[in-house]
Amino acid sequence: MKSVPKPSRAMVFSFIVVSLFQSAVAADTYFLSHGDSLDQWVGHEKYWSIKDGVIIGKSTDEVAVSTFLLTKQNFSDFRLTASARLVSGDTHSGLAFRGRVAPEHGDPFTYAGPLVMFNGNWGFYDLFGRKNLGVDCSKAVDLSKAGEWTNLEILAVSNRVRLAVNGVLVAEWIESEPNRSMEGPIGLQLASSSTPQEINFSNVVVESNPRDQLVTLIETAPNNLTVEEIAEGWHLLFDGKSTEGWRGYQKETFPEEGWEVVDGSIHKIAEAGGGDILTIDPYQDFDFRFEWKVAPGANSGVMYRVSESEERSYYTGPEYQVLDDDRHNDG
């Protein structure tokens, strides 16, 4: 795409990615840590309890084999959000999914399958299977502290699993073996340990068949992209500070007059010349997101797939008009 606004009396472009979130609770959303009931879970009663919406996993002696509090329901594609806190102990905890209960390994509530480990050790691990899955979760280390609540989001859609910690995307894992189980209960881990330990979970919510978008990411400042957006292929066309990446129509450089960068936007100065501007890089098939503002009576637009073969850019390609409909003749 070549994005070429026409001259205007006044125009503001702030190029940012806008995310829209549903406000209603989906019908297939499960609240798993409310009140003082564990009726949606199964596990060792001696290890697991709940008080005032906080699920407590606690051992006072050795746990020979990792044991889990397991949902009674199986999940395939899901979004899990929860807050977790390692109160005491010298090990980690974790969230297991898309596996199976594996009593043959020494505990009726242990689990065979993928596990997101957190706090003591961060990583993706296949318990009783492939073991370490080689996912770099080092970014999470500086985002959380033992003894403090950590906000987690796990989004599993098809063979892609993403982990966000305290509003930051820290890791992504692609299941490369299609014959592996893609469904199973979700489990909260009390890890095998020779010393006492306690782990807490709160605000545990699971949404089945979610939209494929992380919802806990901290909103980025204008003219910035999130890590997830970069991974999905978005390109920032305007950094909010300079005209880098832009040039004048039928010119090699950016116009010396007529345009300025003000308060994170590209601003067209009324009746100051300068002509149209366009991106240096060409685009063909694309999604384009932007915010705009026009002065009273102004007429502008976003041109795309222009060729620079004519005197005016709007003779060479389609235009998405941005103008004051009530006051301009083109409205």
Give residue 75's pLDDT.
96
> How far apart are the C-alpha atoms of 193 and 57, rounded to whole Å?
13
May I ask the CATH architecture of the domain 1-19+221-331?
Sandwich (2.60)
Measured distance between the N- and C-terminal CA atoms of the chain, rounded to whole angstroms: 25
Side chain identity at 300, as an amino acid letter? S
The Cβ of residue 281 has, within 10 Å, a number of other Cβ atoms equal to 11
Give residue 286's pLDDT.
83
Give residue 32's pLDDT.
94
Three-state secondary-structure class, residue 230: helix
Give residue 16's pLDDT.
31
> Domain boundaries in the chain?
1-19+221-331, 29-208
List per-block mean pLDDT (blocks of 10 residues) for the chain, which spans 331 residues.
Answer: 35 34 54 91 96 94 94 96 90 92 95 90 91 88 86 94 92 87 93 92 95 84 70 82 88 88 84 83 85 77 84 79 69 51
Give residue 55's pLDDT.
97
Give residue 15's pLDDT.
35
Q: Are 155 and 207 in contact (CB under 8 A)?
A: no
Instruction: Give the closest residue to 152 by CA, choosing from 92, 198, 193.
Output: 92
For residue 60, the 8-state DSSP code is S
Q: Which residue has the tokens 């509090």?
A: 69
> How far apart are the C-alpha atoms of 51 and 126, rounded to whole Å?
31
DSSP letter string, 154-200: EEEETTEEEEEETTEEEEEEE---TTS---EEEEEEE--BSS-EEEE
> How far apart are the C-alpha atoms of 200 and 148, rounded to whole Å?
10
Looking at domain 29-208, what is its CATH homologous superfamily?
Exo-inulinase; domain 1 (2.60.120.560)
Three-state secondary-structure class, residue 119: coil
Three-state secondary-structure class, residue 286: coil
Give residue 329's pLDDT.
67
Q: Are 28 and 209 in contact (CB under 8 A)?
A: yes
Give residue 84's pLDDT.
94
Give residue 5's pLDDT.
39
Give residue 91's pLDDT.
82
Contacts of 69 (CB under 8 A, 6+ apart): 38, 41, 42, 43, 47, 48, 55, 57, 109, 187, 188, 190
Give residue 150's pLDDT.
93
Contacts of 242 (CB under 8 A, 6+ apart): 261
- 1-19+221-331 and 29-208, same CATH topology: yes
Side chain identity at 206, as an amino acid letter? V
Three-state secondary-structure class, residue 140: helix
> How far apart are the C-alpha atoms of 270 and 279, rounded to whole Å?
21
The Cβ of residue 86 has, within 10 Å, a number of other Cβ atoms equal to 23
Give residue 13's pLDDT.
40
Give residue 328's pLDDT.
64
